[in-house]
Structure 1
Amino acid sequence: MSRSVDVLIVGGAVMGASAAFWLMRMAPDLRVTVVEMDPTYQRAATALSVASIRAQFSNPVNVSISRFGLEFIRNFARETGPEGGVPSLGLKENGYLFLAGSEEGKALMAELAAMQRELGASTEVLDTVGLSARFPWLTLDNVVAGSFGPEGEGWFDNMGLLWGLRSAARAAGAEIIKDRVVGLDLMDGRVKRVRLASGEVIETGELICAAGTRAAEIMKMAGEEWPVEPRKRTVFLIDAPNARHPEAPLIIDHTGFYARPEHGQWITATVPDNDGPCDPDDFEPDLSQFEEIIWPLLYARAPGFDAVKVMRAWVGHYDFNRLDQNAILGRHPNVPNLVLMSGFSGHGLQQAPAVGRGIAELIVTGGYRSLDLSPLGVERVLAGEPFLERAIV
Structure 2
Amino acid sequence: MSKLQAPAHQNYDVVIVGGAIMGSSAAWFLSKDKDFDGRILVVERDPTYQNSSTMHTNSCMRQQFSTQLNVKISQFAAEFVKNLREYMGGDTRVPDLGIRSFGYMYLADNDGFADVLRENQKIQHAAGAATQLMTRDEIAQAYPFYNLDDIVLGSINLVDEGYWDGTAVFDCQRRAAKEAGVEYIQNEVVAITKNAAGTQVESVTLSSGEIVSCGQVLNASGPRANRTAQMAGIEIPVEPRKRFTWIFTAEKPLDRDLPLTIDPSGVHVRENGGGTYQAGGHADIDPAVDFDDFAMDHSIWENHIWPTLATRIPQFEAIKVQSEWAGHYSYNTFDHNAILGPHDEVSNFFFLNGFSGHGLQQSPAMGRGTAEIMLHGNYKTLDLSEFHFNRIGQNRPVSEKAVI
Structures share a fold, TM > 0.5? Answer: yes
Deviation of 1:363 after TM superposition, in Å, equals 1.3
TM-score (norm 1): 0.97
CA RMSD of aligned residues (A): 1.4
The secondary structure found in structure 2 opposite 1:70 is helix
Alignment partner, residue 173 of structure 1 = 181
Where does 1:147-296 land on structure 2 (aligned, <5 Å)? 147-187=155-195, 188=197, 189-245=199-255, 247-263=257-273, 264-296=275-307
Q: What fraction of aligned residue pairs are identical, expressed as a percent?
A: 40
TM-score (norm 2): 0.94
Alignment partner, residue 31 of structure 2 = 24
Q: Deviations over 1:158-177 (max 9, x none)?
A: 21111111111111121111
Q: Is the 8 A contact 1:213 1:318 kept in 2?
A: yes
**Structure 1 stretches lacking a partner, 5+ long:** none
Select which of 360, 372, 393 maps to 2:383.
372
Alignment partner, residue 314 of structure 1 = 325
Q: Is the 8 A contact 1:244 1:265 kept in 2?
A: no
Aligned residues: 393
Select which of 122, 125, 135 maps to 2:133.
125
Distance 2:322 2:267 in 1: 18
Q: Is the 8 A contact 1:83 1:171 kept in 2?
A: no
Distance 2:137 2:24 in 1: 45
Q: Is the 8 A contact 1:329 1:341 kept in 2?
A: yes
The secondary structure found in structure 2 opposite 1:168 is helix
Q: Which amino acid aligns with 1:392?
A: V
Deviation of 1:242 after TM superposition, in Å, equals 1.2
Select which of 306, 326, 330 maps to 2:341.
330
Distance 1:233 1:86 in 2: 31
Q: Which amino acid aligns with 1:302?
A: I
Distance 1:83 1:214 in 2: 34
**Structure 2 stretches lacking a partner, 5+ long:** 1-6
Deviation of 1:339 after TM superposition, in Å, equals 0.5
Distance 2:17 2:351 in 1: 10
Deviation of 1:83 after TM superposition, in Å, equals 5.1
Alignment partner, residue 4 of structure 2 = none
Q: Is the 8 A contact 2:282 2:300 kept in 1?
A: no
Q: Is the 8 A contact 1:137 1:302 kept in 2?
A: yes
Deviation of 1:385 after TM superposition, in Å, equals 2.9
Distance 2:114 2:377 in 1: 42
Alignment partner, residue 114 of structure 1 = 122
With 12-21 and 363-372 compared, the bigger mean Cα shift is at 363-372
Alignment partner, residue 76 of structure 2 = 68
Q: Deviations over 1:228-276 (max 9, x none)?
A: 1000111111111213355221001112300001121111012311101
Select which of 329, 342, 347 maps to 2:358.
347
Alignment partner, residue 12 of structure 1 = 19
Alignment partner, residue 403 of structure 2 = 392
Instruction: Find runs of 4+ consecutive structure 1 residues off by over 6 angstroms.
Output: none
Distance 1:174 1:83 in 2: 18
Q: Which amino acid aligns with 2:172?
A: G
Distance 2:217 2:353 in 1: 13
Q: Is the 8 A contact 2:330 2:355 kept in 1?
A: yes
Q: Deviations over 1:39-98 (max 9, x none)?
A: 110101001111110000001111111110111011112212355833134521111111
Q: Is the 8 A contact 1:10 1:181 kept in 2?
A: yes
Q: Which amino acid aligns with 1:181?
A: V
Deviation of 1:334 after TM superposition, in Å, equals 1.9
Alignment partner, residue 369 of structure 2 = 358
